Copies of this chain bind each other. A is one copy, B any other.
Amino acid sequence: MYDRAMDTADRLVTSTQELLWERGYVGTSPKAIQERAGAGQGSMYHHFRGKPDLAAAAMRRSAAELRAQAEGQLAGGGTAVASVGAYLVREREPLRGCRVGRLAMDPEVVASDELRAPVRDTFAWLCGRLSGIVADGVATGELRPDLDPQDTGAALAAVVQGGYVLARAAGDREPFDRAVRGALGLLRAAAADPSS
């Protein structure tokens, strides 16, 4: 249960963020949210219209947090390999999965435009950001000119999301670390001068 000093609506959103991360949308019940937030039924339905409304608020916040975090890793400047590397190897907890990406596997999230929107926008932004960095690397001659920036950006975003799957399947973070190292190794090999 959260600090009573925190606003009730805020505690409900925070609790929902956590439960969506841990259990997904279909696996998260209003009752569980209320218990974790230390709020009653009445409070929840006073502040939100229902589970989809509350989940949408939680997902928008998680998406914004993730984007800010990723932007912090990507905006470091330096070479394309350095920027992508900073993003790929940043500190993570692979066994928890991605708090946004995991929701893309949820049938009720994908079936609802409102619930899917934050997930869609997050990955559209991330792929675009990574593609831009690769395009810059190609433009400066750091990366081979035959590298397609959009395809490469999508592959880099996918490696992280897929790394979570491998780690959770194994019950061990090792496959995640291997996957991101492997992606970085491939990107280095695609440097115009691979000795760099």
Q: Which residues of A contact B (CB under 8 A)?
A: 22-24, 26-27, 97-98, 101-102, 104-108, 110, 116, 119-120, 122-124, 127, 144, 146-148, 150-166, 168-171, 175, 178-183, 185-187, 189-190, 194
Contact = CB atoms under 8 A, between A and B. Distances in A.
Given A26-B27, A159-B162, A169-B101, A175 B154 contact: yes
User: How many of these chains are in the complex?
Assistant: 2
Nearest to A190: B189
A23 B123 contact: no
A158 B163 contact: yes
A151 B142 CA distance: 23
B151 A181 contact: yes
Contacts of A105: 24, 97, 102, 105, 164-165, 168
Given A107-B24, A155-B159, A127 B175 contact: yes
Contacts of A168: 104-105, 110
Contact of A155 (B97, B102, B182): B182
Residue among A22, A105, A187 with the highest chain B CB neighbour number at 10 A: A105
Given A122-B169, A151-B182, A160-B162, 17 more contacts: A104-B168, A104-B169, A105-B164, A105-B165, A123-B175, A147-B186, A147-B189, A154-B178, A154-B179, A154-B182, A155-B178, A155-B186, A158-B158, A158-B163, A162-B162, A183-B186, A189-B190
